[in-house]
């Protein structure tokens, strides 16, 4: 059976590794395919493919993105898989998400400054470089200068909804994200549906809207998910005729998450990976 991971991050958003480091790690983990799905950018994909081209061991690099959307006051993430990263309209649209991130970053920085912290904005810009600025960049800086005891504390006390430095982002709607991904030739997949603060009834409504907009898949499992949660996700995928997807959401090396680990989908269900295979995105 092929080892496939359809959700991962590089330092072009809030991941810690460069695309090259991520690709080499994926080889060490014996992956056959890896989707790079940074928040609102595809910059890591090009570099990862260039690195892969130098490797003797075959591995498919799937072009991906994780779009930030707002749905009933919640941040909902929609993955775009096998998107055409050269599509100029798609590039423009990602730049629009970047602008929303920049506007939000300025407000977050101002709030943190009002609590006596340094102006993090210049450092955040340097850290993000060409990539997208995320709340994780702020958390890193707050931890580094001792303003908080851990990055998690930075979220728990300041950056998470609805804490003191939380700023309502200007994200697109779920339907818009699906449209952008579809128009870029990609497959839209609801990221980590079990992680949202939504009752099953609300999750059903989200999935119904997603399907109505033309969405095709949902993540059903990751390494840390309980069997009962996974079972519920499989049931919902079946109910809404969504293809099952699995990805680690790898951000940085740690004990809990690893590329390709614990992603087997136990039941015989229709999978996003089957569609990717049909489309020729998996070697």
Task: Kindly list the residues in this chain that would bind ligand AMP in the complex (CB under 6 A).
Answer: 14, 39, 68, 134-136, 152, 155, 160, 251
Selected from 25, 77, 93, 137, the binder of Mn ion by CB under 5 A is 77
The count of other CB atoms within 10 Å of the CB of residue 83 is: 27
- Residue 271 binding Mn ion, by CB under 5 A: no
Looking at the Cβ atoms of 196 and 240, the one nearer to ligand AMP is: 196
Shortest Cβ 133–ligand AMP spacing (Å): 7
The count of other CB atoms within 10 Å of the CB of residue 238 is: 14
User: Is the distance from CB of 166 to CB of 110 less than 8 angstroms?
Assistant: no
Give residue number: closest CB to ligand AMP: 134
The count of other CB atoms within 10 Å of the CB of residue 144 is: 11
From residue 8 to residue 27, the character string flagging contacts with Mn ion as x (rule: CB under 5 A) and all else as - is: ------x-------------
Shortest Cβ 86–ligand AMP spacing (Å): 24
Looking at the Cβ atoms of 63 and 69, the one nearer to ligand AMP is: 69
Sequence-separated (6 or more) residues with CB below 8 Å from residue 124: 105, 109, 133, 137, 138, 141
User: Is the distance from CB of 31 to CB of 59 less than 8 angstroms?
Assistant: yes
Measured CA to CA, the distance from residue 280 to residue 283 in angstroms comes to 7
Task: Give strand pairing partners of 10.
Answer: none
Shortest Cβ 276–Mn ion spacing (Å): 18
Looking at the Cβ atoms of 51 and 94, the one nearer to ligand AMP is: 94
Chain positions contacting Mn ion, by CB under 5 A: 14, 66, 77, 191, 249
């Amino acid at each position: 059976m092929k080892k496939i991971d359809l959700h991962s991050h590089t330092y072009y958003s809030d991941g810690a590794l460069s695309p090259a480091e991520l690709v080499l790690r994926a080889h060490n983990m014996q992956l056959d395919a890896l989707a790079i799905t940074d928040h609102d950018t595809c910059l890591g994909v090009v570099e990862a493919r260039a690195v892969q081209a130098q490797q003797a061991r075959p591995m498919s690099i799937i072009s991906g993105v994780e779009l930030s959307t707002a749905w009933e006051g919640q941040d909902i993430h929609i993955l775009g898989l096998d998107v055409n990263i050269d599509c100029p309209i798609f590039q423009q649209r990602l730049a629009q998400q970047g602008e929303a991130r920049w506007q939000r970053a300025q407000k977050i920085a101002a709030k943190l400054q009002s609590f006596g912290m340094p102006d993090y904005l210049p450092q955040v810009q340097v850290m993000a470089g060409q990539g997208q600025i995320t709340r994780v960049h702020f958390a890193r800086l707050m931890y580094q200068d001792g303003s908080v005891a851990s990055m998690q504390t930075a979220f728990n006390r300041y950056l998470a909804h609805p804490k003191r430095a939380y700023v309502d982002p200007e994200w697109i709607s779920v339907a818009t994200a699906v449209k952008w991904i579809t128009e870029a030739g990609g497959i839209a997949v609801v990221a980590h549906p079990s992680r949202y603060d939504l009752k099953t009834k609300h999750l059903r409504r989200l999935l119904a809207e997603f399907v109505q907009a033309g969405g095709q898949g949902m993540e059903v499992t990751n390494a840390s998910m309980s069997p009962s949660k996974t079972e519920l996700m499989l049931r919902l995928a079946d109910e809404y005729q969504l293809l099952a997807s699995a990805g680690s959401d790898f951000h940085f090396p740690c004990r809990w998450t690893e590329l390709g680990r614990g992603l087997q989908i136990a039941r015989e269900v229709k999978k996003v990976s089957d569609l990717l295979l049909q489309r020729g995105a998996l070697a």
